[in-house]
Structure 1
Amino acid sequence: MVAGCGGTLQTTTAPKIIIDSDYNTMSDDGQLGVMAAQLQAQGQIEVLGITVVSGNQWLKQGVADALKSVERLGVGDRIGVYAGANYALSHDYATIQRELAQFPGGDGYLGAWSSPEPKSDADLVAPPDGFATHTKVQDRSAVDFIVDSVKQHPGEITILAIGPLTNIALATRQHPEIVPMIKQIIYMGGAIDVPGNTTPTAEFNWWFDPEAAHTVLRLPIKQVVVPLDVTDTVKMNKATYDRITHDPSKQTIVTQIFKQLNGYGFDGKNGFETNPNYTTSIWDTLTIAYLMDSTFATQTVDEWVDVDTSFGANDGKATGYASNPPAGLQKMTIVKRFDNARFFDYYVDLLTRPVPVKPSN
């Protein structure tokens, strides 16, 4: 028996998930990691593993941050970290530079491409509380782990796809037999009816590897997309930030790092600690809330979704089709609006629980 978001007891089996992520310490990916670990401690979810992909950061840095995250939370022995794809299927730096020079706009966020690729551990940047000391990356690759897990639990696994889709594309290309065994994929990705962020038309996750997105969107699997259309409308403000960082009764290593890494904005100067009107999206975290309770979504539409791979002005652009879709697409649910007040109560609660995470009895 587990409690639903409204407090009603329901008999259910905890959903099994794989978090496929371009992981970071305490931005949206890292925040989702905290939420998932706390939900697992309550018996509401079973996190089989975290599969890391380059996106926000290069793979080595993402793996290092994920290892420290599970160790910090006290779940390193229960949630394995698996290293996946370091490069996109199609994009390379020369192509990206050519695109952005020809078609400027958006915020120009390049993620991993904005910094040199780390060649050794000496090139990595430690999280504020240091690198993991005893939690090691798993021997199996992310692709092999996805394939093996789906085969071990056919029809049971939800993949939270909160980074570029390279790992999932590779797993399903190399082992197409797993496709009908995947329960569902819930994405943070795409900009359907709103402008992009990295470019004027494309959202970062799908822009980083549009070929992978093009592949995965065509898989005959139940799919839910949480695009910029909704994440642009769910903004953390100062009041919510203060509930996490400035409640003296809820001070933990998570809330301390949250303040250090989110309090001063992306430029280190303009953020919640310096600007009372500052706001920011918390993109990926909406996917796990939707998984746990789909009624967080107050508006959805069912459409076919495609992504452009033309290496032009619209590279990585997502397009929804209410009818007459291109051949091969799968109809899916697109989340358009969230119950922000109820979501933020849920978000704050999970981010401010005691750490290390303790399993429920």
Structure 2
Amino acid sequence: MRRLLNLTAGLLALCAAIQCTAASIPKIIIDSDFGTLNDDGQLLAIAAQLQARGRVEILGLTLVSGNKWLRQESAEALKAVERLGIEQRVGVYAGANYALSHDLPTILAEQQRHPGGDGYLGAWNKPEPRTDAELASPPDGFASHTTLRAQSAADFIANSIRQHPGEVTLLAIGPLTNIALAVRQHPDIVPLIGQIIYMGGAFEVPGNTTRTAEFNWWFDPEAAREVLRLPVRHVIFPLDVTDTVKIDKQVYDRVVNGAAKDGAIAHLFRQLNGYGYDGKNGFETNPSYSTDVWDTLTLAYLMDAGYATATARRWVDVDTTVGANNGHSIAYATAQPGLQPAVIVQRFDNQRFFDFYVDGLTAPVPVK
């Protein structure tokens, strides 16, 4: 009997340990303006490797128009989850195709009256594809058997947060339209959100679309303003820090010539990032070429907040006034009515981060 009791106690302790371990694994929703192996696609690939190692749980991938139109992003995301072998476990959910209020006529008028920045308009740079026949194929073809899940992105976000109250981290690496809609349609979820980690904003540096605005928050400034005012934990990676974390030729070579150099990710990384955005100026043609890192910093921080070597607590807002400052992010050092405090990451441990980054893109670990 004593042996049985000891065995039972041991099993109970083991079960408790397993439950504790499972509960401690971060649960994430990747809310993304997805591209095959742009910064969004790289984040998914690294997250899939972390999931295979039992270090993170990807609840789903939700899509929002931003870098590309929703239909094109969907095609690339469906192929990505197949390529990574996670299509059964990680659903892809279509979200908002248009910003809440920021439309093309307004944008063109802003650009004409207030030129500046690099003029990058993302999806608005190209006509919206209306049929699948108008889609550009991913380099290795379209998905063969995976389709979008039936739920909308907003409903999926809300239901996931209800199922895991206080546990879900939203990695907000695109425009914030989906999250704004989820909260508008399901206001009960607000106190249940674990945290939101953003790639967005520009505070003490110029914008990358206009002189004052970073692309993600500029694409839908009204959504950004609404989400940043939610009483939840906010962590922000603005251009101020992403401008200081750059992929150079050495890092590029570690990815394309690493342990998985013959794999799909290394091949696509070379194909899509080796020749620059113009197909001519890139790592393969210019040894001095470099490019910033954006979205993957959010995932690294989630896994270890110690990657952030300098942070500041600020109250953040977004200018929604039509004009030169539309989408401009503002940080106040003291509390302001209606605003919420946020952790703004200012500097990162680049050397340690790039070990994480390269490992996530190259480790020959079976993805499940």
Question: Per the alignment, do residues 352 and 249 of structure 1 end up closer, same or farther by CA in structure 2, a change over 3 Å counting?
Answer: closer
* 2:259/2:362 contact within 8 Å kept: no
TM-score, normalised with respect to structure 2? 0.93
Q: Which of 298, 308, 318 is 1:287 aligned to?
A: 298
Question: What is the rounded CA distance, in whole Å, between the counterparts of 1:29 and 1:311 in structure 2?
Answer: 28
Map of 1:137 onto structure 2: 148
| Pairing 1:330–2:340 present | yes
Q: Which of 276, 281, 299 is 2:310 aligned to?
A: 299
Map of 1:13 onto structure 2: 24
Map of 2:16 onto structure 1: none
Cα-to-partner distance string for 1:294-342 (whole Å, 9 max, x where unaligned): 00000000000100000111000001000152x2110010000000000
| Pairing 1:193–2:174 present | no
Q: CA RMSD in A?
A: 1.2
Aligned residue identity for 1:182: I
| Pairing 1:271–2:282 present | yes
Cα-to-partner distance string for 1:94-145 (whole Å, 9 max, x where unaligned): 0010000111111110000000001010011011000100111101110110
Map of 2:261 onto structure 1: 250
Question: In percent, how many aligned pairs have the same letter?
Answer: 65
Report deviation, 1:251: 2.3
Question: What is the rounded CA distance, in whole Å, between the counterparts of 1:248 and 1:161 in structure 2?
Answer: 30
| Pairing 1:63–2:60 present | no
Question: What is the rounded CA distance, in whole Å, between the counterparts of 1:256 and 1:159 in structure 2?
Answer: 29
Map of 2:367 onto structure 1: 358
Map of 1:344 onto structure 2: 354
Q: How does 1:1-361 map to 2 (within 5 A)?
A: 13-247=24-258, 250-325=261-336, 327-354=337-364, 357-359=366-368
Report deviation, 1:65: 0.7
Question: What is the rounded CA distance, in whole Å, between the counterparts of 2:258 and 2:50 in structure 1?
Answer: 21
Q: Which runs of 5+ in 2 are unaligned?
A: 1-19
Q: Normalized per residue, which structure has more helix?
A: 2
* 1:222/1:332 contact within 8 Å kept: yes
Cα-to-partner distance string for 1:194-234 (whole Å, 9 max, x where unaligned): 11000000000000000000100000000100100100000
Question: What is the rounded CA distance, in whole Å, between the counterparts of 2:34 and 2:215 in structure 1?
Answer: 14
Question: What is the rounded CA distance, in whole Å, between the counterparts of 1:305 and 1:70 in structure 2?
Answer: 34
Q: Which runs of 5+ in 1 are unaligned?
A: 1-9
TM-score, normalised with respect to structure 1? 0.95
Map of 1:4 onto structure 2: none
Question: What is the rounded CA distance, in whole Å, between the counterparts of 1:249 and 1:345 in structure 2?
Answer: 15
Question: What is the rounded CA distance, in whole Å, between the counterparts of 1:358 and 1:219 in structure 2?
Answer: 35
Report deviation, 1:248: 6.7
- Structure 1 outlier segments of 4+, above 2 Å: 246-251
Report deviation, 1:347: 0.2
Question: What is the rounded CA distance, in whole Å, between the counterparts of 2:335 and 2:300 in structure 1?
Answer: 31
* 1:251/1:352 contact within 8 Å kept: no
Map of 2:17 onto structure 1: none
Aligned length: 348
Question: What is the rounded CA distance, in whole Å, between the counterparts of 2:70 and 2:80 in structure 1?
Answer: 15
Larger Cα-atom Rg: 2
Report deviation, 1:353: 2.1
Question: What is the rounded CA distance, in whole Å, between the counterparts of 1:297 and 1:324 in structure 2?
Answer: 23
Report deviation, 1:282: 1.9
